[in-house]
Amino acid sequence: MGEVGARLVIETDMVIIGAGPVGLFTVFEAGLLGLRCHLVDNLDKVGGQCAELYPEKPIYDIPAIPSCTGQELVDNLMRQAEPFGPQFHLGQQAEKLVRLEDGRFELTTSEGQVFRAPVVVVAAGAGSFVPRKLPLPGADAFEGTSLFYAVRRMETFRGRDLIVAGGGDSALDWALNLHPLAKSLTLVHRRDEFRAAPDSVQKMRELVASGAMKLVIGQITGLEGEGPMLSAVAIKDAAGEVVSLPANALLAFYGLKMELGPLASWGLGLERNLIKVETEAFETSEPGIFAIGDIITYPGKLKLILSGFHEAALMCQKAFKYCHPDEKLVFRYTTSSTDLHKKLGVA
Amino acid sequence: MAKVIVTDREGADHELNGQSGWSLMEIIREANLPIEAACGGCCACATCHVYVDAAWVDKLAAPESDESMMLDEAFQVQDNSRLSCQVKFTDALDGLKVTLAPEF
Ligand SMILES: Cc1cc2nc3c(=O)[nH]c(=O)nc-3n(C[C@H](O)[C@H](O)[C@H](O)COP(=O)(O)OP(=O)(O)OC[C@H]3O[C@@H](n4cnc5c(N)ncnc54)[C@H](O)[C@@H]3O)c2cc1C
Ligand code: FES
């Protein structure tokens, strides 16, 4: 598995948008039919909702697995997909989808990666995971110049008076990584308890004790400054007093939310932000573009992982025909087929 | 049936039937009031944030540490902030008043 060098055009059988549980299982079902997959996900890790929202919570309704955590399910799906060598393109959003003259599709990501494939599978869940933004009037004006929700380049923060807001791993990790670069760094958090890994918290506490980092307990209530340049951040402290903390950069971590994003404009026949599909092959209104998992709707649809798995299996049957129009697909069991054993690497 | 009074983001009050045994989030969502509750009540999203009327704060079971941690990801958190999916409704809470927190 590896990241392929950016800006190369990748030709493959299937491009899967979304590496959630349903996208991951599609790799397996496609693999049994000899189809190769590339997957794109906005998150910097695989597993979709299971990995991002409830990695440590138990799931009880996966057939034949009485109980496993979200992350265990993802790890097992990765193991199951491994023989088929899926290629992951993480931390990027599928942005543009067009049909080429030869009938295939061309998909471009936010990082400029281009794919060409006869089949596109939208396994996009409730949409891309994107950072939650500060719901403060005028915040937009600062975004990208002095207000950030993620770190693209650490250099952006060199020599700046930086405030990092949040109490989880992202906030703590970046506070620790950026404090040597920044002119000053203040961590702002609602309460004096942190969700982040204990050793990050300890490192932070040591830096605060030595004066190398400041810690303010409070909540951001306003941004001050002209146009794109922030000059100070208003913070309501634990006692309810509002203080103005001078800063020219703010890095805010308020968790992630799911947002439909670019696929809303791909003309896929949406109904209340869900893609309508037929239930024989889970194809969208656009032949060759399939959709499965939480992103779809059809009469009786249940947003469950097991439904997504079923949809993946059926969808691959039809996808095969687009990839190999002249070949006949023979139905086989993994138990007994030597051909499938070879593909699985167990022969 | 026991009632819950929910003030929406425009300031309008809604009197809802409070099904004993349901979470407050479920009661609000069932009434089609705008509560995102993205994670469906698993204490994993903080989009079911409400403010509990001062008179009721102490009558609710105190939040577990899970809930406090998740509230860290909410915005405009106050002392009376709760994640409504973590508040179990019972008939003893008849008349409970809450306000939907701002969306973001
Ligand atoms: C707290 C919680 C508990 C749950 N418990 C259960 C349970 O017990 N049993 C059960 O069956 N289900 C459960 N579910 C539901 C289950 O998690 C979903 O049904 C499942 O995750 C859907 O999988 P998916 O692959 O369709 O989508 P997702 O898991 O949502 O993954 C979609 C992925 O696509 C990515 N994406 C979307 N658009 C783009 C784009 N344009 N470019 C790049 N990437 C994109 C997203 O970043 C995301 O990673 C639970 C859900 C939650 C939130
Ligand atoms: S619904 Fe997600 S935390 Fe309550």
Q: Do A257 and B47 touch (CB under 8 A)?
A: yes
Contact flag A53-B42 (C-beta cutoff 8 Å): yes
Mutation target among A237, A257, A304 for the B interface, most CBs of B within 10 A: A257
> What is the per-residue DSSP string for A83-114?
GG--EEEES--EEEEEE-TTS-EEEEETT--E
Give the residue among B32, B43, B38, B74 at the shortest CA–CA distance from A260: B38
Q: What is the pLDDT of residues A227-241, one digit of tens each?
A: 799 999 999 998 889
Which position has the higher pLDDT, B24 or A256? B24
Sequence-distant (6+) residues with CB within 8 A of A262 are: A93, A94, A95, A96
- At residue A3, the pLDDT reads 46
Helix (H, G, I), strand (E, B) or coil at A148: strand
Residues of A with CB below 8 A from B44's CB? 53-54, 57
Across the interface, whether the CB atoms of A190 and B72 are under 8 A apart is answered yes
Q: How far apart are CA A72 and CA B95, in angstroms?
A: 43
CA torsion sign for A141, A147, A149, A150 is: positive
Q: Are B75 and A167 a contacting pair at CB < 8 A?
A: no
Tell me how far apart the alpha carbons of residues A177 and A236 are, in angstroms, rounded to a whole number: 26
On whether the CB atoms of residues A123 and A292 are closer than 8 A, the answer is yes
- pLDDT at res. A7: 65
Domains, chain A, ordered by start = 2-129+257-344 (3.50.50.60), 133-254 (3.50.50.60)
How far apart (Å, rounded) are the C-alpha atoms in residues A58 and A39? 26
| Closest B-chain CA to A134 | B104
In the reported structure, the alpha carbon of residue A308 is separated from the centroid of ligand 1 by a whole-number distance in angstroms of 10
Q: B79 near B29, Cβ under 8 Å?
A: no
Tell me, rounded to whole angstroms, the distance of Cα A292 from its chain centroid: 16
Give the mean pLDDT per block of 10 residues along chain A (347 residues): 60 98 98 97 95 91 97 98 97 96 96 97 93 89 95 94 95 96 97 93 97 96 92 92 96 89 91 93 96 97 97 98 94 91 90
- Which protein residues touch ligand 1 with a CB less than 6 Å away? A 17-23, 40-43, 48-50, 53-54, 59, 61, 93-94, 123-129, 261-263, 293-294, 303-306, 308; B 39-40, 42, 44
Distance of alpha carbon A128 from alpha carbon B91, whole angstroms: 40
Q: Which ligand is nearest to the CA of B81?
A: 2
Q: For the sheet with A296-297, list strands across it.
A: A270-271, A274-276, A296-297
Per-residue pLDDT of B28-64, as tens digits, reads 999 999 999 988 898 988 999 999 999 999 999 999 9
CB-defined site of ligand 2, < 6 Å: B 25, 37-39, 41, 43-48, 70, 83, 85
* Shortest-distance ligand to the CA of residue A110: 1
Chain B residues with CB-CB distance to A127 below 8 A: none
CATH architecture of B3-100: Roll (3.10)
CB A53 within 8 A of CB A255: no
Q: What is the β-pairing status of strands A128-131 and A256-259?
A: antiparallel
Measured N-to-C along each axis, helices A70-81 and A21-32 cross at an angle, to the nearest 10 degrees, of 20
This model of the complex carries an ipTM of 0.81
What are the residues facing A62 on neighbouring strands?
A65
Contact, B61 vs B88, CB < 8 A? yes
DSSP symbol at A250: E
Quote the CA–CA distance of A88 and A90 in Å, as a whole number. Answer: 6
Query: Do A135 and B47 make contact, defined as CB atoms within 8 angstroms?
Result: no
pTM for the structure as a whole: 0.85
Q: Please say if the pLDDT value at position B1 is more than 90.
A: no
**Assign residue A4 a region: left if phi > 0, alpha if psi is -120 to 50, beta otherwise?**
beta
CA nearest neighbour of B49 among A170, A188, A274, A257: A257
Instruction: Collect all residues with Cβ–Cβ distance below 8 Å to A133 and sequence separation of at least 6.
Output: A139, A143, A149, A252, A254, B104
Chain A residues with beta carbon closer than 8 angstroms to that of B37: none
Chain B positions touching A189 (Cβ under 8 A) are: 72
The Å distance, Cα B85 to ligand 2 centre, comes to 6
Residue A37 near residue A19 (C-beta atoms within 8 A): no
- Other Cβ atoms within 10 Å of A92 Cβ, number: 20
CA of A246 to the centre of ligand 1 (A): 40
Whether the CB-CB separation of A288 and A121 falls below 8 Å is answered with no
Distance CA(A172)–CA(A197), nearest Å, equals: 9
**How far, in Å, from the CA of A24 to the mean position of ligand 2?**
26
Check: CB of residue A28 under 8 Å from CB of residue A81.
Answer: yes
A254 closest CB neighbour out of B69, B73, B102: B73
